[in-house]
Amino acid sequence: MSYLKEVQRAVDYIEKNLCNELSITEISKQVNFSMYHFHRIFQSFVGESLSEYIRRRRLTAAAHSLRNTNLRIIDIASEYGFNSQESFTRAFQKMFGITPGLYRKQKQRLLLKEKPRLTISMLKQFEEGLLMEPRIVIKEGFTVVGMKCSTTLKNNKIPQLWDEFLLRIHEIKNRSDDKVAMGISEFCKNPNDEEFTYFACVPVTRIDEIPEGMVIKTVPANKYVVVTHKGSLETLGNTYDFIYATWLPKSGHELAEADDFEVYDERFLGPEDEKSEIDIYIPIK
């Protein structure tokens, strides 16, 4: 039996009432399940409890208010259900690693720690088991040859870069595996708004000559969490949300200030193919 619609109804109800009192009992009534039963259903889909999801969504909404409005911190705290500015500050700092006041002064997105709203496509991924169990690996350093661009996630130039690179990929010699291509994102604290360098590239065994207009990059050895994304590129962002918002907070690991990358091999059947698989490597410490 699929509980997808029930979970989506609950999420919609939560979003409409983030600033109101929310109880598991009332949410369960909205979807016609017992409190215990629905709590188990929700956690199995999302990987965290209903109360934890609500708390982190409220703190994310509060962060947006701090960044985009002039409301007093005490008023924002009250709006999202905190009894005092002190309790709000403790919860905010625990989740984001920064106080609300300092965050407001810096006005930088907390993109990697925010809790995105669950969407129907994300829930489908959870339901269908498209996200494989994350695994921790130590990967040796490697060298790639390819093309690069400066981009942000908001003004994404990556698809255009891949179009240009794939027309010339055959020019690269000494590839370590003819079936493997990689997309490498250089470390950036705020990739949504700040420019970062992205490489469309292939790993090589040695450097003899570089095609005109291409570059060399060496990635040092590092520890990574690896998650296999299954499905089209349209839902790739959901897999990143899973890593950052669901897996990472509970893993005991922290993000490392290093490059992350995607590996495209013979399992990648095309950007729109629902049977495609892509390995995502996120550096951790």
> Along the 285 residues of the chain, how does pLDDT read in single tens digits?
467 788 888 999 999 999 999 988 889 888 888 776 787 778 767 777 888 899 999 999 999 999 999 999 999 999 999 999 999 999 999 999 999 999 998 877 776 678 888 888 777 766 665 556 899 999 999 999 999 999 987 788 999 999 999 999 999 999 999 999 999 999 987 676 678 999 999 999 999 889 999 999 999 999 999 999 988 888 888 788 778 767 877 788 888 889 999 999 999 999 989 899 999 999 998
Q: Which token pair is 142?
A: 């490697």
CB 4 within 8 A of CB 124: yes
**Which amino acid is present at 276?**
S
CB 244 within 8 A of CB 113: yes
Q: Which token pair is 275?
A: 């049977």
Phi-psi region of 254 (alpha: psi -120 to 50; beta: other; left: phi over 0): beta
The pLDDT of residue 166 is 96
**Rounded CA gap, 55 and 18, in Å?**
9
Q: Which residues contact 222 (CB under 8 A, 6 or more apart)?
A: 138, 139, 256, 258, 283
pTM score, whole prediction: 0.67
**Rounded CA gap, 118 and 241, in Å?**
10
Centre a 10 Å sphere on the Cβ of residue 25 and count the other Cβ atoms it contains.
Answer: 10
User: Could you give all domains of the chain from N- to C-terminal order, each with its CATH number?
Assistant: 4-125 (1.10.10.60), 135-283 (3.20.80.10)
The full DSSP string for 126-142 is HHHT-BPPPEEEEE--E
